[in-house]
Amino acid sequence: MGLFNRDSAGRQAGTPEGAPSRGSTAAFADIEMHNSPRTRHVDDNAPNVFAAFVFAVLFALASGAGYLVAREVNIWVLCVGFAVAVAGIFTVRIASQWERAIVLRFGTFNRVAGPGLFLTIPFVEHIALRADLRVMLTGFSAEETLTSDLVPVNVDAAVFWMVWDAEKACMEVEDYYDAVSMAAQTALRDAIGRKSISDVTIHRDKLDQELREKIEEKTNPWGISILSVEIRDIVIPKDLQKDMAAAAKAEREKDARIVLAEVEKDIAAMLLEATEVYRKDEMAFELRSMHLLSEGVKESNGTLVIPSAYSEGFKRDK
């Protein structure tokens, strides 16, 4: 199985084990560009800006109160103001609408906080994880994976998922983003290995459903729900593509011949029925003959001369 490392920006770096082709590597890089950014384990920019604001306000208020008490601004007043401001930024926190903050007290789970403003006890409680509850997108692939009939294929897919329990996402798995990506890749390789190349290429919707169930079976204990899995691209060797195209053409010709034979069988049955009618009624046969003569004259734009006895045959009393 190919292993990937993820940098601080959430992008996967490195190459899988083995020597993948340039085309497959480019395809994998393309799908990685659409990945959702990795959930950060530290405060993002908005909380940092808010913390700076809280620090400035509390430092100003504490320093002002110290000045009113001491009637001067000295080192002690500034130290007290700084201490109050530091305690304030570890107390007053915010979480975005889509975030849930996991608060630990003395290293044990205490509560899920957010969204909006919430308070923590300085140096006693800390935020272990900020879980993003929005729908996330993770691209994954299976390179040079053998099907049940030993055909190597490269498959690119995408999984849409979301965190429904922030506590489990923090406590049950070390990094749920990477865990979802690896679980999806493992499930894809396993599913391809149990199917033939025709099942992979033709019954893609069934493969999508099977992958969703397999991945969710692993991620559900982590508080993560799999919304959908979509196969983006299936690449098979060019030589095999030609063979499959020839087989498909032969199958279409076979179907066409079967349909033609069925039509000829129906026509023969109808002709047999018409023969019985003409055999019992000579007048009907003569009418049919005149109709064929008339159609032949129309198509050739010519003139047909027939003996008068032929037309007088319609006047005979049968």
- Distance separating alpha carbons of residues 313 and 41, to the nearest angstrom: 103
- Give the domain 5-33+135-236 fold: Tetrahydropterin Synthase; Chain A (3.30.479)
SS3 of 107-175: the string is: CEEEEEECCEEEECCCCCEEEEEEEECCCEEEEEEEEEEECCCCCEEEEEEEEEEEECCHHHHHHCCCC
**What pLDDT, on a 0 to 100 scale, did the predictor assign at position 301?**
65
Look up tokens 């996991």; give the residue: 102
**What pLDDT, on a 0 to 100 scale, did the predictor assign at position 52?**
85
**What pLDDT, on a 0 to 100 scale, did the predictor assign at position 216?**
92
Element (H, E) at 73: none
- Distance separating alpha carbons of residues 238 and 219, to the nearest angstrom: 36
Computed on alpha carbons and rounded to an integer, the radius of gyration of the chain in Å comes to: 39
- Distance separating alpha carbons of residues 182 and 180, to the nearest angstrom: 6
**What pLDDT, on a 0 to 100 scale, did the predictor assign at position 307?**
59
How big is the CA angle at 45 (ends 43 and 46), to the nearest 5 degrees? Answer: 95
Domain residue extents for the chain: 5-33+135-236, 45-131, 238-276, 281-318
Count of Cβ atoms closer than 10 Å to residue 22 Cβ? 7
> CB within 8 A of 185, min separation 6: which ones?
1, 2, 140, 141, 142
47-52 long-range Cβ contacts below 8 angstroms, 24+ apart: 47/93, 47/94, 47/95, 50/92, 50/94, 51/89, 51/92, 52/89
Burial class (CB within 10 angstroms; exposed 0-12, middle 13-18, buried 19+) of 299: exposed
Render each residue's pLDDT in the chain as its tens digit; 318 residues. 333 334 433 434 333 333 444 444 454 455 555 566 554 444 457 777 888 888 888 888 888 888 788 788 788 888 888 888 888 888 888 888 889 999 999 989 999 998 989 999 988 999 999 999 999 999 988 888 888 877 888 888 999 999 999 999 999 998 899 999 999 999 999 988 888 887 887 888 888 888 999 999 999 999 999 999 998 888 887 776 666 666 667 777 788 888 888 888 888 888 777 777 777 777 766 676 766 666 666 666 666 566 555 555 555 554
**What pLDDT, on a 0 to 100 scale, did the predictor assign at position 24?**
47
Look up tokens 């509560």; give the residue: 111
